[in-house]
Structure 1
């Protein structure tokens, strides 16, 4: 969830932030600027009002980079320096997302993760403390300024081509497909009973519904299907919590960290799958040198199929979701997740009983797990994993993701997440436009000598196993090193 999604929610500003914006909090917590309309608010956010401007201090990159701790976080956006230390714990996308960019230039990731910048600026202005000194470059000196500018020019081109505009008919048809599958499953069991053949058939319908719900939720979590942010946020809750039974707060916190620091250990939570698996080049060597052997990691590619795939969604995801609900005590989130189980007990309970309904729910999740783990991991596990190297946004995403070749089946099967490179570069872009921008991204990669990896789906599946074997070999060599 991004800042614009929570403009009317938990993101209320405090202290000097409220004084600067001149806000009054109404009962519904919407910021109101002393009776001014929305246009006036946007004017203030864009610096077009007559309010006195702050006198900004000048900072060097050396000084900014010292403020990279959880208790002291600065970041740079468009050469402006912001102190986000106090704001981080109220950041709708989670405090870790901001902490991961503390002391760095966050211009491109900020633009990538937010759609409505005029609203976000309402939150940024009170946090402004200075700007880069005139003699300082716009990015850290280790970054390629020409590559950064070329990528920003590419984004401006795509914006001019309306590539970030969602086709609501596309998403409406996908939502209709999900609802039809759910209703059809209930009608089948209601009309024919709970025989084995019917159970297998409705399991298949519910499985396809769960897969498509994940794909559509992935869209609603990033882009504006509706013009109203509240409706987008409501859609995400409906898809992830009501249709899939998972905490949206837990998912967003995890997923946004993955997007902003893809394959960066330990900032990307998807790189931390130990002690069951060791992935990448760093953690296997670390475990090996410390003589850590929770299991025989040389056989982890076999455990991937025997244990990893079966437990990924039905056990790991659900345990983490429930743990988050218990710790955060967010009653709205709890109510949405509860509605998933209530709906199944009402629809299927009379035919299967409570125990049978629970078995059916987790049988479908078990089947979904095999799909989800392949689709999500084939584009990242075989790619570069590293500690923080503070690369530019474009290089970070291209080196840590890969595509699967386009076809009607691949597009449908993955929900267009076979265009993982484009999805990571432009998270707020509607997925029906990925194939249109892919040639331009490939061209920019070629210009700057960066790999643009696209492979057949079966090869991508096989690369998961090959990557696990490679990591196991690194662990073995370090473990038995004398």
Structure 2
């Protein structure tokens, strides 16, 4: 049998002289929810059984499960820079390929859009936009270390009168949020070319300098990128329905079931207070639960060490009670910063169950951008370019602005709205979206 050309344009070798052939109908039944709970996925027309490998998957078992029974070609390409390394693992998981009469794209995929997107990715790779600028990231790293040191030095030198106390809190908060944006870059393997270097420094930054396990963050965040705004697959939607009712279809469904955990018709009024407050205990408790449950002992040790370190640094200067105010006020401010920036690109967008759309449509329908400026880039960790970040999650953030015109042209060609707005509008749209969702819930609750 002659070599075949896959949907990504690369030549692939057959499994054997007579490979096992599958149809999409058969593949879709192996989605992890049947009696056998087998998980199959398709990459470049090849069919892989990842049922057992999922538990060992570095990106987390649930990321693979979210694509079980579906085509994962574009997700696979998006998440993995080192394809040759990953394909070594795939080789032992190969069980067959799509039958010749089966289309490369499932019936509900937009073939022309995906073909143009793959051409765009090739263009971006040739332009070198997936290559990191080490000077840029060195400056990012240096600037939050300086801010972190300044938070302690201000209190050490000036004491704990009101002004230095508040200035110290401000420096600590800014340093922590900027560390968060940087570890986010490391988690996407966009700072170094080698994944292991990114993983090592991510553990240093998020675990030793922020007090959270790197594997915990990656476990949640990779799922978000795999299926953004897909209920029960995107962990960022776990606030629905306990605290908030999100999206029109989910809100109507909740209302028809006569479920009322909160007065959702007022959620746009309590979001600014409740969302940041809820995030603090969630982060603080779940990090320890995750590390213990997954037996991440090194990360657990470094997390505990972080808490000991900050106590030893600040308690002698201000006493325990003042330190508690200092630390938890900074965490509350950081939580506000984090929740508004991360949700401004998603909550106002389409939220629903997974409809197994193509990669491009899935990302574009769930994300929007905020206009570029030096302040917006710094304030959001370049997450104002959420569209480009979601389409190319391993792209270094300093290159988003170069890719943006190319992505916009792709959207214009296929009639897809490329949304970009001011920072203030993006914040206000969160509240507008929550208000609309709450009204849909109330209408269905009363009359559904």
TM-score range, shorter chain: over 0.9
Q: 1:269 aligns with which of 232, 235, 246?
A: 235
Shift of 1:335: 1.1
Shift of 1:326: 3.5
Q: 1:64 aligns with which of 27, 33, 49?
A: 27
Residue 265 (structure 2) aligns with = 298
1:308 to 255, 275, 283: 275
Measured after TM superposition, the shift of residue 55 of structure 1 is 5.0
Structure 1 counterpart of 2:344, from 369, 378, 397: 378
Residue 254 (structure 1) shift: 0.9
Q: Offset of 1:441 from its aligned partner?
A: 0.4
Return the TM-score normalized by structure 2: 0.93
Matches within 5 A, 1:182-331: 182-273=148-239, 274-312=241-279, 314-331=280-297
Asked if 2 retains the 8 angstrom alpha-carbon contact of 1:344 and 1:357, the reply is no
Structure 1 gaps of 5+ residues are: 1-45
Whether 1:128 and 2:94 are equivalent positions in the alignment is: yes
SS in 2 for 1:69: coil
Structure 1 residues 360-371: aligned runs within 5 Å: 360-371=326-337
Q: CA deviation at 1:355?
A: 3.9
Unpaired runs of at least 5, structure 2 = 1-10
CA deviation vs aligned residue, 1:204-240 (integer Å, no higher than 9, x gap): 1111101211111111111242344322111111221
Give the TM-score of the pair, scaled to structure 1: 0.87
Q: How far apart are the structure 1 equivalents of 2:43 and 2:276?
A: 40
Aligned length: 434
Inter-partner Cα distance in structure 2 for 1:113 and 1:470: 34
Question: What secondary structure is seen at the aligned counterpart in 2 of 1:129?
Answer: strand
Shift of 1:62: 1.3
Contact 1:164 1:430 in 2 (8 A): yes
Q: Secondary structure at the match of 2:292?
A: helix
CA distance in 1, matches of 2:379, 2:138: 18
Shift of 1:476: 0.5
Task: Give how far 1:243 is off.
Answer: 2.0
Instruction: Name the structure 1 match of 2:3.
Output: none
Shift of 1:289: 1.4
Given that 2:79 and 2:394 are in contact with CA atoms closer than 8 Å, whether structure 1 keeps it comes out as: yes
What secondary structure is seen at the aligned counterpart in 2 of 1:428?
coil
Contact residue 311 and residue 369 of structure 1 kept, 8 A: no
Say which is worse superposed, 439-448 or 271-280, in terms of deviation: 271-280
Distance 1:250 1:114 in 2: 19
Range with greater deviation from structure 2 (200-209 or 290-299): 290-299
Equivalent-residue separation in structure 2 for 1:423 and 1:85 (angstroms): 29
Q: Please show how residues 382-393 of structure 1 align to structure 2 within 5 Å.
A: 382-393=348-359
**Aligned in 2, Cα 1:224/1:383: closer, same or farther, shift over 3 Å?**
closer
Contact 2:131 2:193 in 1 (8 A): no
Q: For 1:399-452, what per-residue CA distance to the aligned partner results, in whole angstroms no more than 9, with x for missing partners?
A: 110000111111111111000000000000000000001011001001111110
User: Following the alignment from structure 2 to structure 1, what is the Cα–Cα distance between the partners of residues 305 and 81?
Assistant: 30
Q: In structure 1, what is the Cα distance between the partners aligned to 2:68 and 2:160?
A: 55
1:88 matched to 2:51? The reply is no
In the alignment, the residues of structure 2 paired with residue 126 and residue 354 of structure 1 have an alpha-carbon distance, to the nearest angstrom, of: 56
- Map of 2:6 onto structure 1: none
Name the structure 2 match of 1:43.
Answer: none
Could you tell me how far 1:138 is from its partner in structure 2? Answer: 0.9
Question: Is the CA contact 2:340–2:427 (under 8 Å) kept in the aligned structure 1?
Answer: yes
Deviation of 1:271 after TM superposition, in Å, equals 1.8
Q: Is residue 126 of structure 2 the alignment partner of residue 160 of structure 1?
A: yes
> How far apart are residue 265 of structure 1 and its match?
1.4
Q: CA deviation at 1:53?
A: 5.5
Is the 8 Å Cα contact of residues 244 and 262 (structure 2) preserved in structure 1?
no
Say whether 1:409 aligns with 2:391.
no
Q: Which moved more, 1:226-235 or 1:141-150?
A: 226-235
SS in 1 for 2:231: coil
Q: Equivalents in 2 of 1:168, 1:54: separation in Å? A: 47
Q: RMSD between aligned alpha carbons?
A: 1.8
Shift of 1:253: 1.1
**Partners in 2 of 1:338 and 1:93 — Cα distance?**
24
Q: Deviations for 1:121-145, whole angstroms, at most 9, x for unmatched residues?
A: 1111100011111221111122121
**Matched-pair contact (CA < 8 Å) for 1:311–1:366:** no
Hey, what's the Cα distance between the residues in 2 that align with 1:379 and 1:225? 23
